[in-house]
Amino acid sequence: MNTDHSYARQLDEADQLRDFRHEFYIDKKKIYFDGNSLGLLSKRAEASVTSLLNSWKDYAIDGWTEGENPWFYLSEKLGAMSAPLIGAKPEETIVTGSTTTNLHQLTASFYKPEGNRTKILADELNFPSDIYALKSQLQLHGLHPDEHLVQVKSKDGHTLDTSEIIEAMTDDIALIVLPGVLYRSGQVLDMEALTKAAQERGIPIGFDLCHSIGSVPHQLSAWGTDFAFWCTYKHLNGGPGSVAGLYVNEKHFGNEPGLSGWFSSLKEKQFDMEHTLTPAHDAGAYQIGTPHILSAAPLLGSLEMIGEAGIGRIREKSLSLTDYMLELIDSRLKDQKLKVANPREEKERGGHVLLEHPQAAAICKALKSKGVIPDFRTPNGIRLAPVALYNTFEEVWKTVDILKTILDDESYKNYQNERE
């Protein structure tokens, strides 16, 4: 392959999404490759926050129903803007709550243990918060997690085998919750095949899309996936603690949510103040409390920008960036003790690269000292996420070049090999 610096610049010149980089606040002294943990601030997101602050200033209580973006309907509007990213209908998607709160809501709604069917199927590589939530839901039913939470094992500690997940869909499974993309290795699970297998066995299935939404296209409605949930501060660039989202397939509309609150209500009935809930006829029924308006505000600008770029083009560039990074690592770092631990096949690779090294924590500190912002994962993982909307091929080249220098001169040994 062409490893010249000039070739990276040629790739940037041909990049159809290159102008979106100018929409973000970029520190030109740094290379930010941690967008799969927290996306950068865009000028549009900043303007959206200012706009909603002004609506509070200008309208006070009337901001709920007046202005450009009335707060009473903001969650639905943002849900509709999110829907194309997951292949859903607008009414199937809502922006509300936090990732774990939404998982609690969806588990309370879809987990119906009965007879022999009492177990929840998950995996051993999922993000801990999901497992905490599932265990607590089992305990609320008086069931012990050691007996009733089934976690599919990984052969290599990085990836999951689709056939083994399907084999674990036994007659005693009442609910399946899996990640769309594994947070550590970036493996994209075959959500279509898993949904089909779950449907054939009559088991409701849902996916955590935190590491896939905004980076990997989905077709949840077409697949018939029962539910999904996600955060919005990674590839959606909604800011720290920005409001999360959830999806519920329309075939479940009309069912009362497991956890109810006044924003679960049909909007036309909400201010009747009746003590009997009339749930919304769409995904809005799965809201609980009052929307966090100022924490949702950045998404107006961010989702608008992502919609203009198109999830198809974002995915295409994301794969090109990680392909290029992997090729440079293979050609320039082949004599080092680095191990590429993410899937190589494009259909199985999400938006980041996972490298493993015995001195990973020290290497991450050395990279930061050189202006590269990676993400360390215990015990030996280095995650590098070149994000399609604001990272460049030249930044990929520079990062691999800096990494090579750090490894060649062993300057990482100047740092303690432990998490900050």
**230 assigned to a ligand binding site:** no
**290 assigned to a ligand binding site:** yes
DSSP string covering 86-138, please? HT--GGGEEE-S-HHHHHHHHHHHH---BTTB-EEEEETTS-HHHHHHHHHHH
**127 assigned to a ligand binding site:** yes
**262 assigned to a ligand binding site:** yes
**226 assigned to a ligand binding site:** no
**208 assigned to a ligand binding site:** yes
What sign does the dihedral 33-214-137-286 (CA atoms) show?
A: positive
**223 assigned to a ligand binding site:** no
- What are the E-state strand segments in 219-291? 227-230, 245-248
User: Which of these, 48, 32, 22, lies nearest to 243 by C-alpha position?
Assistant: 48
Residues in the chain: 420
Please give the single-letter amino acid code of residue 364: C
User: Which of these, 372, 354, 364, lies nearest to 412 by C-alpha position?
Assistant: 364
Tokens 């509300």 correspond to what residue?
A: 96
Show Cβ contacts of residue 221 under 8 Å, excluding neighbours closer than 6 positions.
87, 88, 89, 92, 249, 250
Q: How many CB atoms lie within 10 A of CB 383?
A: 24
Q: How many CB atoms lie within 10 A of CB 58?
A: 11
Show Cβ contacts of residue 282 under 8 Å, excluding neighbours closer than 6 positions.
91, 92, 94, 250, 253
Q: Which residues are catalytic?
A: 127, 208, 233-234, 383
Which positions make up the binding site for pyridoxal 5'-phosphate? Answer: 99-100, 127-130, 208, 211, 233, 262, 290
Binding residues: 99-100, 127-130, 208, 211, 233, 262, 290
